[in-house]
Amino acid sequence: VGLSEKLTFQTETQKILHIVAESLYTEKEVFIRELISNASDAIEKVRHLQLTDASKVEDNVTPFEIKISCDEDKKTLIIQDTGIGMTKEEMIKNLGNIGYSGSGEFLKQIGENPDKASIIGQFGVGFYSCFMVGHTIKIYSKSATSGSKGYLWESDGAGSYNISEASGVGRGTKIIIHLKPNAYEYSKKATVEAIIKKYSNFVGFPITLNGHAVNTIRPLWTLNKNSITPQEHTQFYQYLSKSYDTPSYHLHFSTDTPLSIRSIFYIPSQHMEKYGMGRMEPGVSLFSRKVLIQQKAQGILPEWMRFVRGVVDSEDIPLNVSREHLQDNGLIQRISSVLVKRILKHLHDESKKDVAKFNNFMNDFGPFFKEGIISDFKWKDEISKLLRFETSHSSDTSTSLEEYVSRMKPNQNQIYYITVPNRSIGLKSPYYEPFQMKGVEVLFLYNSIDEFVVTNIGHFGDKKVVSVESKEAEEFLLENQEKRTDALSQQEIDSFLGWVTETTPEKVSFAKSTTRSISSPAIIVDHESATMRRMMKMIEPNKQ
Residues that bind ligand ADP (CB under 6 A): 34, 38-39, 42, 81, 83-86, 94-95, 101-104, 121-127, 173
Does 81 show up as a binding residue in the annotation? yes
> Do the beta carbons of residue 104 and residue 38 sit within 8 Å?
no
121 binding Mg ion? (CB under 5 A): yes
145 marked as binding residue: no
Q: Which does 42 bind (CB under 5 to 8 A by kind): ligand ADP, Mg ion, none?
A: ligand ADP
The end-to-end CA distance of the chain, in Å, is 90
Query: Is 126 near Mg ion (CB under 5 A)?
Result: yes
Q: Are 289 and 359 in contact (CB under 8 A)?
A: no
Does the annotation list 414 as a binding residue? no
Could you tell me the CA-to-CA distances from 376 to 363, 372, 386 in Å, in that order? 20, 5, 15
Whether 94 has a binding-site annotation, put simply, is yes
Cβ nearer to ligand ADP, comparing 172 with 366: 172
Distances (CA, A) of 390 to 372, 404, 426: 19, 11, 11
Q: How far is the CB of 31 from Mg ion (least distance, A)?
A: 11
Q: Which is nearer to ligand ADP, 45 or 309 (CB)?
A: 45
Q: Which does 339 bind (CB under 5 to 8 A by kind): Mg ion, ligand ADP, none?
A: none
How many residues would you count in the chain? 544
- Closest C-alpha to 435, from 485, 482, 476: 476
For 479, other C-beta atoms within 10 Å of its C-beta total: 8
Q: Which stretch binds Mg ion (CB under 5 A): 7-15, 123-131, 266-274, 412-420?
A: 123-131
* Least distance to ligand ADP, CB of residue 122, Å: 5
Is 313 annotated to bind a ligand? Reply is no
Strand partners, 415: 465
Query: How far is it, in rounded angstroms, from Cα 484 to Cα 488?
Result: 10
- Least Å from the CB of residue 171 to Mg ion: 19
Q: Is 323 annotated as a binding residue?
A: yes
Nearer to Mg ion, 9 or 236 (CB): 9
Query: From CA 70, how far away is CA 82, in angstroms rounded?
Result: 18
In the three-class reduction of DSSP (H, G, I as helix; E, B as strand; rest coil), residue 12 is classed as: helix
Burial of 353 (0-12, 13-18, 19+ CB in 10 A): exposed
Nearer to ligand ADP, 42 or 340 (CB): 42
Tell the smallest beta-carbon distance from residue 147 to ligand ADP (Å). Answer: 18
Question: Does residue 38 belong to the site contacting Mg ion (CB under 5 A)?
Answer: yes
Residue 119 or 312 having the CB closest to Mg ion: 119
Q: How many helices (H) and strands (E) does the chain have?
A: 17, 20
On whether 358 is known to bind a ligand per the annotation, the reply is no
Check the annotation: does 257 bind a ligand.
no
- Would you say 101 or 531 has its CB closer to ligand ADP? 101
Residue 473's binding partner, choosing from Mg ion, ligand ADP, none, with beta-carbon cut-off 5 to 8 A by kind? none
Of 250, 327, 338, the C-alpha closest to 293 is 327
SS3 233: helix
Element (H, E) at 141: strand 134-142
Residue 284 assigned as binding residue:
no
Q: Which is nearer to ligand ADP, 178 or 438 (CB)?
A: 178
- Report yes or no: 288 and 319 within 8 Å, Cβ to Cβ: yes
Q: Which residues are annotated as a binding site?
A: 34, 38, 81, 86, 94, 101-102, 122-127, 173, 323
Q: Which residues are annotated as a binding site for ATP?
A: 34, 38, 81, 86, 94, 101-102, 122-127, 173, 323
Write out the residues near Mg ion by the rule CB under 5 A.
Answer: 38, 121, 126
